[in-house]
Chains A and B, each alone.
Chain A
């Protein structure tokens, strides 16, 4: 199947804009809806996401703290993961 040049360009630009919109947006997973002050504080502490759009997702299973998902990269500051690390460290004793 042959595609015309116009269709190819349109498809390319759509995919580029779609990827850019996903890449530029950072997801913060928290156990409750974070306030604007908390998000600002997080951005202040983590300069790499300072100028990025933020999408907050709530997940009560992480107990407390938060996780930042930036594309394939995950920064985990959740209480659940800290407890798991603690248990993991105690398993090696």
Chain B
């Protein structure tokens, strides 16, 4: 072996050295590194799981939010419809009431005008009759001579009906 240039002692020493290195490596480097890697892998899987759960929760929340928005919109639409319906009813009632009041005012006005017209007509008729009576009295007073007065008086005496006592 020496002829081949191989030093058995050196090989042995190197083998022992390698073995010692292997032991030290395994004891102080390989195992902690493996634990570290394993822990990293576990953490990664936990993160992935958490991420997945978070995504699921987010999706669920989004869906719930969308559902709530739809519900709110539907409620809003319903409330608006009801408010519009109520407002239309109130508007119709107000219009009807206003029309009724306007009709009453017009009717009252017509009646007032009619009453005033009748009162004026009556007043005018009374005035005309009184004027006519005064004119006739005055006309007769100037027209009737003593002879005429006597003639009329005698006619009245002739046609007199004795009063019922």
Binds A, one of B49-57, B58-66, B93-101, B148-156: B148-156
Collect the chain B residues with CB atoms within 8 Å of residue A31's CB: 144, 149, 153
- The reply to whether the CB of B76 lies closer than 8 angstroms to some CB of chain A is no
Binds A, one of B19-27, B33-41, B129-137: B129-137
Complex: chain B residue closest to A45, CB-CB: B160
Q: Which of B149, B157, B163 has the most CB of A within 10 A?
A: B157
- The reply to whether the CB of A72 lies closer than 8 angstroms to some CB of chain B is no
Collect the chain A residues with CB atoms within 8 Å of residue B150's CB: 32
A interface, by DSSP: helix, strand, loop or mixed? helix
Instruction: Knowing A46-B160, A46-B162 are in contact, say whether A63-B133 is a contact too (CB < 8 A).
Output: no
Q: How far is the CB of B49 from chain A (nearest CB, A)?
A: 114
Q: In the bound complex, how far is the Cα of B148 from the Cα of A38, in angstroms?
A: 15
The answer, among A46, A47, A66, for a CB contact under 8 Å with B156, is: A66
Q: Is the pair B149, A64 in contact by a Cβ cutoff of 8 Å?
A: yes
What total count of A-B pairs have CB within 8 Å? 66
Instruction: Knowing A46-B163, A65-B153 are in contact, say whether A87-B129 is a contact too (CB < 8 A).
Output: yes
Q: Total interface residues on A, using CB and 8 Å?
A: 26
Collect the chain B residues with CB atoms within 8 Å of residue A48's CB: 162-163, 165
Q: How far is the CB of A16 from chain B (nearest CB, A)?
A: 25
Q: Total interface residues on B, using CB and 8 Å?
A: 24
Instruction: Knowing A65-B152, A90-B129 are in contact, say whether A42-B157 is a contact too (CB < 8 A).
Output: yes
Collect the chain A residues with CB atoms within 8 Å of residue B149's CB: 31-32, 63-64
Q: How far is the CB of A22 from chain B (nearest CB, A)?
A: 20
Collect the chain A residues with CB atoms within 8 Å of residue B163's CB: 46, 48, 75
Q: In the bound complex, how far is the Cα of B152 from the Cα of A63, in angstroms?
A: 9
- The reply to whether the CB of B140 lies closer than 8 angstroms to some CB of chain A is yes
CB neighbors of B among A23-72 (8 A): 30-32, 34, 38, 41-42, 45-48, 60-61, 63-66
Instruction: Knowing A30-B153, A75-B163 are in contact, say whether A63-B141 is a contact too (CB < 8 A).
Output: yes
Extra pairs beyond A38-B157, A64-B156 (8, CB < 8 Å):
A45-B162, A46-B160, A63-B144, A63-B149, A64-B148, A79-B156, A83-B133, A91-B129
Query: 30 A-B contacts, Cβ less than 8 Å apart?
Result: A31-B144, A31-B153, A32-B150, A38-B157, A41-B157, A42-B157, A42-B160, A45-B160, A46-B160, A48-B162, A48-B165, A60-B141, A63-B141, A63-B144, A63-B152, A65-B152, A65-B153, A65-B156, A66-B157, A77-B156, A77-B157, A77-B160, A79-B140, A79-B152, A79-B156, A83-B136, A87-B129, A90-B129, A91-B125, A91-B129
